[in-house]
Amino acid sequence: MPERAIHQPSNGTREEITIGVVGADEIVRRIMSVARATGSPSWRLIAAVYGVEHEAHAQAMKIASRVDVCLFAGPLPYDVATRPGDLPVPATYIPVGGSALYGTLLRGALEGTFDPLRVSVDSAPVADVREAFQEIGLDPAAVRVMPYVHPESAAEFLDFHRELYERGATTGAITTVPTVAAALAAAGVPSLKMTPAGTTIRHTLHTAALIGSGAKLEESRIVTMIVRVPSGAFPAHASPSNYWYQELKLSLHRELLRDARPMDAAVLTRDEHSYLVVTTMGSLNLATDDLTMAPFLGRISAELGLRLEVGIGLGRSTREAELNAQAAVDKASAAGADTAFLVGPGETVLQLPAARQEDDGTPAAASQPAQPSRDSRAAEILARLAEKIDADNDSERVIDAERVAELLGVTLRTARRMLHTLVDEGLAWPMPPARSSKVGRPPRPYQLLVDKVDR
């Protein structure tokens, strides 16, 4: 297959990074299109197109001497190409699932290709598919999923889809593998190929550029961080319909973006409890005062009243960096203190405190997160409410004015004023009112932030 290249002229202020794009023709064209629309002057893209996935290694090797990094169209060609172990440049791939699944389901429904409630899906994790259906109010009970684990599992995708369709368990299939899509069409199975969303491609192009920079400059090598909320910090029955749970996730994402922006870092949702932050070693050094303090822990923990676990991973590829980040965040979880861990190649392990330490081991005053002065009366109200609620074994700590009046023996007006005081002091979050069939304005619930005040 012929190679294609696009070159966006450099403006002379940034180092040019050459990215090799390896995949089937259709997805390579889409990646090239997104790259053009993004308009980064420092990217030069060279495409190598294969016909079937097992050609990924050969196609990557053809362009390896002319690129700084290889970007594969998905985890399957990435694994096929990197298994031999002799790919001379770092590599990454475009993840599957995410928002692309919503678009594929909508297209299938609008075009009448299949019934979205009775469909088989490959490559995406089971939990991601179920969550996607639940978020749009659809029952995933009749949806069948086979996740991608390794290249051998992809070889089973065709039989998985065809067997379900032929016995009437599904009305069609969604696949991410071009060869599987072609085989399904030949077998008469209604199907659609799920292609990555433009946002996902842009994020991955930025990540690939960071990795390519790291191959040239040690200071710019890739860093992957996992920021995780301990599972015990969530209510026992957290779900997408739990307003407090959703508000917590949104607030954490917003604060991560705020701290990540000075680092030129990308922040991506990893799973229900964690986020992936990708940056460079140089940016991390600046943000952490040359690795003397942990990123995110101090300010965000104080702002949200929430304990975080932070793991930092270094590696020669995105996969190695993410695996090291996972090992690091597990160490942070086991330590159970306000500290992050960094894990790198060659058994490198560093422990980073939430705040920079002075020579005598005490926290540096300048690096301590500013603690807002609290209204002592507000703190007292919160402590009284928490004591009453804990006595009722209410782990979610969501309350409204009527319940405050009942628990504290005050009037409804006083209860509302107390809740407003707690919000003003950052000790409670106002939440959207619950839907009600009753006449009049429904009561507004509030999430109490008990962890922000020592009781």
Sheet holding 428-430, edge to edge: 398-399, 446-448, 428-430
Q: What confidence score (pLDDT) does residue 287 get?
A: 80
Find the mean pLDDT for residues 85-91: 80
pLDDT higher than 70, residue 14:
no
Terminal-residue alpha carbon distance, the chain: 68
Which CATH number is associated with domain 218-367? Answer: 3.30.70.270
Locate the domains of the chain by residue range.
4-94, 99-193, 218-367, 376-452
From CA 277, how far away is CA 256, in angstroms rounded? Answer: 9
Q: What is the pLDDT of residues 406-435, one digit of tens each?
A: 888 888 878 888 888 887 777 877 765 655
Asked which of 39-43, 109-113, 241-245, 346-350 is least confident by mean pLDDT, the reply is 241-245
Closest CA to 276 of 329, 323, 224: 224
Q: Do domains 4-94 and 99-193 have the same CATH topology?
A: yes
User: Do the Cβ atoms of 6 and 32 come closer than 8 Å?
Assistant: yes
User: In the chain, pLDDT over 90 holds for what percent of residues?
Assistant: 28
Q: What is the pLDDT of residues 177-195, one digit of tens each?
A: 999 999 999 999 999 999 8
Which CATH number is associated with domain 4-94? Answer: 3.40.50.10330
Residue 353 backbone dihedrals phi, psi, to 5 degrees: -70, 160
pLDDT higher than 90, residue 157:
yes
Q: What is the pLDDT of residues 363-374, one digit of tens each?
A: 554 433 334 444
Find the mean pLDDT for residues 316-324: 81
Q: What confidence score (pLDDT) does residue 73 get?
A: 92
Residue 83 to residues 77, 78, 87, 149, 150: CA-CA distances in angstroms? Answer: 10, 8, 9, 14, 11
pLDDT higher than 90, residue 142:
yes
pLDDT-based confidence at 13, cuts 50/70/90?
Answer: very low
Q: What is the pLDDT of residues 202-258, one digit of tens each?
A: 888 988 887 776 554 444 467 899 999 887 665 555 555 556 667 777 888 888 888
CATH 1.10.10.10 assigned to 376-452: yes
Report the relative pairing of strands 91-93 and 120-123 from DSSP bridges: unpaired
Q: What confidence score (pLDDT) does residue 116 get?
A: 93
pLDDT higher than 50, residue 340:
yes
Q: What confidence score (pLDDT) does residue 235 get?
A: 54
* Higher per-residue pLDDT: 351 or 235: 351
Q: What is the pLDDT of residues 101-117, one digit of tens each?
A: 888 999 999 999 999 99
Closest CA to 395 of 269, 245, 262, 293: 245
Fold observed for domain 99-193? Rossmann fold (3.40.50)
